[in-house]
Amino acid sequence: MKSGDARALELFYARHAGAVLALCRRILGDSGEAEEATLDSFVQVWDRAASYDPRRASPVAYLMAVARSRAIDRLRARARRPHPIDWAGEAPAPTGTPDALDETLLAERRERMRAALGALAERERHLVELSFYQGLSHREITERLGIPLGTVKTRIRQGLLRLRDRLRSAEPGGERP
Amino acid sequence: MSCEERRDAILFWVMGQLEPGPAEELRLHVSGGCAACAAHLAEARELELGLLLAPLPAEPPDSLRRRLVERIAGARAEVPRLAPARRLRARVAAIAAALAVALAAGYRLGGARSGDSTGSAAPADAATLAEELAAAREALEESDAELGGLEASVRDLETRLAEAREQIRLLRAADVQRLALAGSAAQPSARAEMFWQWRDGYYCYLHVEGLRAPPQGRVYVLWIEDDAGERRLVGEFVPDAAGGAELWVRIGGEAGHARAALVTLEPAGAGVPAGEVQLTSG
């Protein structure tokens, strides 16, 4: 893509558009706006391909971080907040992706994270998700839920540490709790 | 803090849960080449990516891919036409920003010379501003007829830049004189400073804050009072919505020493100070 090859963008899109759209839906809770955020994300990656530094992030990590930012930008730009999406109600994964090995690794990573999230206490998972997927500050979460600021901070941090430890222990040959 | 202790902090930093101060300390430490913390950073990035990828992939509609292709094709078509305009807009914005810095720096310096403890910054380099202006002109030559509006902006900035240079020169002058003006009972929130210097004429720069909007048909008028007690018209002005105003005037001929200054409220075009005094240097 750095050389302006539109076919490379199309391949990149075919491989990752599903994940980007899912993330945008998770954040925005609106399929129309999520599609716009997805489009914005790929256009931004294309526009800035020349300045992409592979030492800082892998292409997919870069794309997903851009998508999160674009979706949260849209979330903040509108007055209302999204309807939460039920994990079980999401669309199934597309089949026949161009790179089966990459997809397999990403799918394994996804499953590990979903399992780790599912194992968190509800009070921690909810705050981690509000912080990460909706970009809410500690103070905004406090105002929304009526929980003390210190409690919000502590629960998010504890949740993140538990996620990290569970992911490590779930890796092949990883640590055991 | 040991690098093992930094492991948690790095996770919180990556996930946006760390305050700016500790985050900056970590950034400096990691960028210093610590291998252990680089590994902690990679671990935190993995967790971040895991959360980004956690939602089950959706099936994008075919229309989305088509729209992406159209957006990219459209952007390619626009680039040659818009590139000069973008460069020029950026240049105009850069000049405007430099101008604002120059004026602010010059004004602060004037305050410093007159004993104002808040003054400290050096005025912006006029040569740099001139280079910016020259570059803006060069970019303008590359642009087409669509850029007429921007061309006018550059001319306006050029005029303002010339004024700014004169103001900075005045405020930096060793012999610049300063008069502080306080609001009268009619304008208790107003205050102003007048800087003046005699060179090949009488150069005067007035900076006002906190003035109320004048009544319909009226303007504020600045007068100076010389050693003989004679009041001389300097100029008229109307404050902006925030109550601020600047007046920059060069008066030809011999005006003598300005021992005092005052601002009155007058009908536009007044030749003698007959209205109520709004600000005075006392």
Residue by residue, what is the 3-state secondary structure of chain B?
Answer: CCHHHHHHHHHHHHCCCCCHHHHHHHHHHHHCCCHHHHHHHHHHHHHHHHHHHCCCCCCCCHHHHHHHHHHHHHHHHHHHHHHHHHHHHHHHHHHHHHHHHHHHHHHHHHHHHCCCCCCCCCCCCHHHHHHHHHHHHHHHHHCCHHHHHHHHHHHHHHHHHHHHHHHHHHHHCCCCEEEEEEECCCCCCCEEEEEEEECCCEEEEEEEECCCCCCCCEEEEEEEEECCCCEEEEEEECCCCCCCEEEEEEECCCCCCEEEEEEEEEECCCCCCCCCEEEECC
pLDDT at B86 over 80: no
* Averaged pLDDT, A36-52: 88
Report the chain A residue with the minimal C-alpha distance to residue B61. A35
Segment of A112-126, B74-88, B259-273 carrying the highest mean pLDDT:
A112-126
Higher per-residue pLDDT: A47 or B131: A47
The answer, for A116 touching chain B at a CB cutoff of 8 Å, is: yes
pLDDT at B119 over 50: no
| pLDDT band for position B187 (cuts 50, 70, 90) | very high
- Chain B residues with CB under 8 Å of A160 CB are 11-12, 15, 17, 47
* Averaged pLDDT, B258-276: 86
Interface of A with B in 26-55 (CB under 8 A): 26, 35, 38-39, 42-43, 46-47
pLDDT at A5 over 80: no
Closest CA to A67 of A34, A102, A97, A112: A34
At B175 the pLDDT is 80
pLDDT at A83 over 60: no
The answer, for B68 touching chain A at a CB cutoff of 8 Å, is: yes
CB contact (8 A) between residue A160 and residue B11: yes
pLDDT at A25 over 90: yes
pLDDT at B176 over 90: no
The answer, for B27 touching chain A at a CB cutoff of 8 Å, is: no
Segment of A27-31, A42-46, A57-61 carrying the highest mean pLDDT:
A42-46
pLDDT at B68 over 80: yes
- Chain A residues with CB under 8 Å of B15 CB are 131-132, 160
CB contact (8 A) between residue B58 and residue A167: no
At A136 the pLDDT is 87
At B229 the pLDDT is 81
Percent of chain A with pLDDT over 70: 80
The mean predicted confidence, pLDDT, of chain B is: 77
What's the rounded Cα separation, in Å, for the pair B71 and B75? 6
Higher per-residue pLDDT: A171 or A118: A118
pLDDT at A177 over 60: no
pTM of the predicted structure, to 2 decimals: 0.50
CB contact (8 A) between residue A6 and residue B75: no
The mean predicted confidence, pLDDT, of chain A is: 80
- Chain A residues with CB under 8 Å of B13 CB are none
Report the chain B residue with the minimal C-alpha distance to residue A85. B55
Distance from CA of B142 to the nearest CA of A (A): 23
CB contact (8 A) between residue B52 and residue A68: yes
At B81 the pLDDT is 46
pLDDT at A174 over 70: no
